Structure 1
């Protein structure tokens, strides 16, 4: 895109310029509950260390949305060992970003991508690879030349009825101007193009009257009644050119009124300035808000998007920046509001395919623009793409671009929307992982593969939910949130859940009852070395969690059952297991658990977990499974 600002400055360089969570009431009917997070953290504070402990604590906070705290425990995990599952690199990176440690987060994302080739790593290498989600929209639109382009610059379309108004630097018949010495093209003027009923151009003309001057005119809009025009022009008013302190001619917004079929009473808008650019107007559907682009002081980047209220008496409020969700350190420009009050804009600050890309943002319940999506290919290309606009023709839109294969410097293209790809309805039931009971009013959030929110809902009284907008050829993330349960995230492709399925979630409070094995409830494991009955260091960490539970819940009584593998005589194994049971009991008594709450007995090889009985060949790992202790709740 040729970017020319005015007599001196490139016009388009300015972008045409080209938890805490509330605790719910428990519905369990068991005897007691154990706060898992509290148990894990108290153990860690005693100085005990293990890979599993740090993973559990990090995950507990990560899935609870407390990323600053998950970062603490993932720090310890990565300091403790290098034997770490790849997914933890991603979780660690997200946690680091929560405390603004972006450099280290980038390192983690790069290692994550190297380990997995997972496209989430593309967030780190976004300037090296195309994003899968952006490249995957190619079938949504067919793109073709709009039929109005010249060998010069043509861009910025806007429809009033069946007539398109656009910007061009072509050589004019009625209004021949001198060339801009910067671009060696004509100064841009406003043009119109009439279309027939099937969206083909039948006539092109230029606007004369008082609108086009010997300097640059650019993007324009109309009120719905067609009687008021807002447009962009150089700082040229009443035949006088204006400069800033650096002797540069900038851009301003102007208003014109249609009087006797002629544009008259041209005035500049009161929030213009000689010291910064204001350009590219857009109107809300109620015509009470104007959007525009500007590089005024106090913004986030080279040019930002702003809004300003239009009062009933025609006066204006104060410009309001659309904020850092939309604006970046780079360029945001060419706003457009469609019939549904959705915002379209161009940016080279957000992840895209190159140059300016087109984005769409749907207002939230407060009318604010905070989430957005890249319109993908073929709307966007590796060059500048901007100036999205609706048309009166069904499923036909227009954009501007300087992509390869065009007729001029910038060209206007017709977008023809294709039939939507096949979508399915996602239908699931959320249940308690322990009791398998359906859970009501669980918050469900559906994200695309780049963590852009697609849909939100809650489960009904049967634990079920349905959500649409799920494409069979896409990958999604489902996030499940419920008080007193660990937040869960599941990644899947659209065709993974065509039929009704079940999604279990784990409670933070663990239900226990007579006969349960406390080891299994807490997801722990206590093993012994071959022919030994001393407490191993890794078992100390696990026992510390059990001791914490026993001390916190004095009504609990347990029976310790210790076991061996089968690689000695039955009598030897029975004696060894009894020594292990008593060693475990004595260890817990020394740590403060009353002795009348713990009984212990060895069972030798009488209760093997697998096939590894006398004479059966087994691996070391298989034998290890049998060298264990259980903690059976007896009261």
Structure 2
């Protein structure tokens, strides 16, 4: 897959100004500006052979080879161009080519350089937050079996939309078409194949003239009933294009069309109203219920070059206003080829998220109105090449992905796959019950916390006492649960590769935590030289709030303490601040200020008197708050 397949209007990010063009480069530049990269490369290479090349020529050679995904040549010329340039985007692309050629350490070196120059770029931020990401992707294990398909040719074949026993693809195999200068292959047409009983695909058929034109046609997506199809087409068909006044070159965009389908016939083809002459819209995917259309576009206002968007489809088939899918999905690079599966998982291809080189396939899912973290699908779906146009039947695990990886039959090839293991997200389903009656506790508050103490999500249990979360597999977490009139409880959840983790957590009635003089709580710790309430301390303090709500006459006195490090006066002041923040937390939960007070004791009442030989754990035990019932508490039995 050329990075820019069907991106007709992309502005080529050449690292050198057009003012560097000379009479000697005129022919090559003309081909380059018309996206005729194969011929441009031939002309620029002639200048290299003559010894007439400079930084401008090296940069153009790098860009041209990048655009047709000749990774070896692109790497070579980027290295040469960067001898006299430090252009950040060129460094990023050089890193991508190194990675595509399996030179991961060298790629990381260039990414670190890119990140130092553009620290606010989301591609840089993602890399710096996870610089060792490559082994994590490579070591996840094989989740799919992947096989090259017999229907592929020596030219570009991609896609894979299976509907009603037929497979629809896009291909450059029609030699009757004019060649496209970008890669010197014929313009793309749409084809169908019939699925035979043995699982093979036969009866190759090019769709009729109503669907295919002399210009590019791209991927297809059907409504659930199969009666409407959406597809991409070049805007030249509508006589919509921009003309460069200098080169006299015409530039089109891509538009989305829809058509009615009856049997094998397509009719009533019309352009969607969201199309514009100023930008492209492509790669359609219809949701399982037919209510939403997902697509890629470079329309203004996005986060990068191409972003993933969605738009509603009403009961009359009208498409609504495009909505950007947000920064969790979209980066400053390309995000394209969205596919929404039958369980509403969103798959897409990206060069902006952390991958193996070229475009990789990623996935996410909307949970409670928010998108789950974006994950790399991993090998063998992804490779060092471009991997795109992913589709899957979630029930059977069968699907298709397109790739220009090594070992294929031609340019882009279509690969059939079978999912053999679940992907690396885990759905945690927790049931919260009364420890005595085992009845579900609707309305309990449950927070999922990672191993660093960060709250990942907080939810309220439904009528069956259940809460659900989606997290990355193999990630250890803890469930923290609170409920009115119940003792709070925690449950450690070990990371797993399974698709679901079913857990149960029981809460005891609040009476069990009350004694004659003291509210029994787990220790409340403070960080060294800090007085703020941590997330874990807040969770424990909620037990006290529950008790004070149950016994409205209860009055509490809090004492706060320090370890032995620091001077006596300093520690006294520090502990006093800790007492005040503890008291303020209780008051912030609705407890009247007259019912809670406190004081700092410094290091005068150590929990562990370990002298000058305290371990860090012993120091931590001394940095605490304690509570006593002054009046209004229950009597012991």
TM class by shorter chain equals: 0.5 to 0.7
Aligned equivalent of 1:280: 283
Residue correspondences, number: 461
The 8 Å contact of residues 159 and 390 in structure 1, kept in 2 or not, is answered as no
Q: Give the 3 Å change call, closer, same or farther, for CA 525–509 of structure 1 in structure 2.
A: farther
What is the Cα deviation at residue 203 of structure 1? 3.3
CA 1:541–1:474 in structure 2 vs 1: closer, same or farther (change >3 Å)?
Answer: same
SS in 1 for 2:476: strand
Structure 1 Cα separation of the partners of residues 542 and 458 of structure 2: 29
Q: Is the 8 A contact 1:447 1:455 kept in 2?
A: no
1:394 corresponds in structure 2 to 396
Who is 1:417 aligned against? 419
**Contact 1:279/1:293, CA 8 A, preserved across alignment:** yes
Asked if structure 2 preserves the Cα contact closer than 8 Å seen for 1:442 and 1:459, the reply is no
Aligned match of 1:170: 173
Give deviations 1:417-452, integer Å, cap 9, x for gaps: 115599998879999xxxxxx998231327699999
Partner of 1:303: 306
Q: 2:375 aligns with which of 370, 373, 376?
A: 373
Give 1:145's aligned residue.
148
Which structure 2 residues correspond to residues 63-74 of structure 1 after superposition, within 5 A? none
Cα distance, 1:274 vs. partner? 1.9
Judged with a 3 Å threshold, the aligned counterparts in structure 2 of structure 1 residues 227 and 137 are, in CA distance, closer, same or farther, namely same
Offset of residue 155 of structure 1:
0.8
Give 1:338's aligned residue: 341
Offset, 1:387 = 1.0
Q: Does the Cα contact within 8 Å between 1:283 and 1:291 map onto a contact in 2?
A: yes
Structure 2 residue aligned with 1:621, among 613, 618, 631?
613
Distance of 2:242 and 2:276 partners within structure 1? 10
1:254 aligned residue (257, 270, 277): 257
Q: TM-score, normalised by structure 2?
A: 0.57
1:185 aligns with 2:185: yes
Match of 2:527 in 1: none
Mapping 1:466-545, distance limit 5 Å:
474-478=474-478, 480=480, 492-494=494-496, 506=537, 507-508=540-541, 522-526=560-564, 536-542=568-574, 544-545=576-577
Rounded Cα–Cα distance in structure 1 between residues aligned with 2:396 and 2:623: 71
Output the CA distance in 1 between the equivalents of 2:496 and 2:252: 53
1: CA distance, partners of 2:151 / 2:310? 31
C-alpha distance 494-420 of structure 1, shift in aligned 2 (>3 A): closer
Q: Could you tell me how far apart the structure 2 residues matched to 1:526 and 1:320 are?
A: 57
CA offset at residue 187 of structure 1?
Answer: 1.2
Post-superposition Cα deviations, 1:300-325, rounded to whole Å, max 9, x if no partner, equal: 21012222333444443332222333
1:182 Cα deviation (Å)? 2.4
SS, match of residue 236 in structure 1: helix
Correspondent of 2:270 among 252, 267, 272 = 267
Task: Quote how far apart the aligned CAs of 1:237 are.
Answer: 2.6
Question: TM-score scaled by structure 1?
Answer: 0.57
**Gap regions ≥5 residues in structure 1:** 19-101, 108-120, 432-437, 529-534, 563-580, 585-606, 613-618
Quickly say closer, same or farther: Cα 1:460–1:537, change in 2 above 3 A.
Answer: farther
When residues 210 and 138 of structure 1 are mapped into structure 2, their CA distance, relative to the original with a 3 A threshold, is same
Q: Which gives a bigger RCO, structure 1 or 2 (Cα 8 Å, sep 6+)? A: 1
Aligned positions of 1:185-264 closer than 5 A:
185-237=185-237, 240=239, 242-243=241-242, 247-258=250-261, 261-264=264-267
Contact persistence 1:332–1:345 (CA under 8 A): yes
Contact kept, 8 Å, 1:329 with 1:349, in 2: the verdict is: yes
1:53 is aligned to: none
In the alignment, is the contact (CA less than 8 A) between 2:443 and 2:483 conserved in 1? no
Match in the other structure for 1:130: 134
- What is the distance in 2 between the residues matched to 1:561 and 1:339? 61
Say which is worse superposed, 326-335 or 441-450, in terms of deviation: 441-450
Query: Match for residue 383 of structure 1?
Result: 385
Deviations 1:535-570 (A, max 9, x none): 6355344454588699998998999999xxxxxxxx
Alpha-carbon distance in structure 2 between the residues aligned to 1:447 and 1:384: 34
Q: 1:97-112 alignment to 2 at 5 Å?
A: none
Structure 1 residues 166 and 502, CA gap change in structure 2 (3 angstroms) = same
8 Å contact 1:383–1:402 — kept in the other structure? yes
1:399 to partner: Cα distance: 1.1
Q: Superposition pairs for residues 599-610 of structure 1, below 5 Å?
A: none
Quick one: distance in 2 between partners of 1:260 and 1:547? 76
Measure the CA separation in 2 of the matches of 1:629 and 1:312: 62
Going from structure 1 to structure 2, the CA distance change for 1:448 and 1:122 (only over 3 Å counts) comes to farther
Q: Secondary structure at the match of 1:363?
A: strand
1:539 is paired with a residue of what secondary structure?
helix
2:163 aligned partner: 160
Partner SS for 2:232: strand
- From 403, 406, 409, the equivalent of 1:407 is 409
SS of the aligned residue for 1:414 comes to strand
Q: Once superposed, what is the RMSD of the aligned Cα atoms?
A: 5.7
* Shift, 1:352, TM fit: 2.8
Structure 2 counterparts to residues 415-494 of structure 1, below 5 A: 415-420=417-422, 441-445=444-448, 458=461, 474-478=474-478, 480=480, 492-494=494-496
Larger radius of gyration: 1
Measured in 2, the distance between the counterparts of 1:261 and 1:137 equals: 42
Contact 1:122 1:129 in 2 (8 A): no
Q: 1:449 to 1:243 in 2, by over 3 A?
A: farther
Q: Is the 8 A contact 1:446 1:456 kept in 2?
A: no
Is 315-324 or 473-482 further displaced after alignment? 473-482
Could you say which residue in structure 2 is the equivalent of 1:574? Answer: none
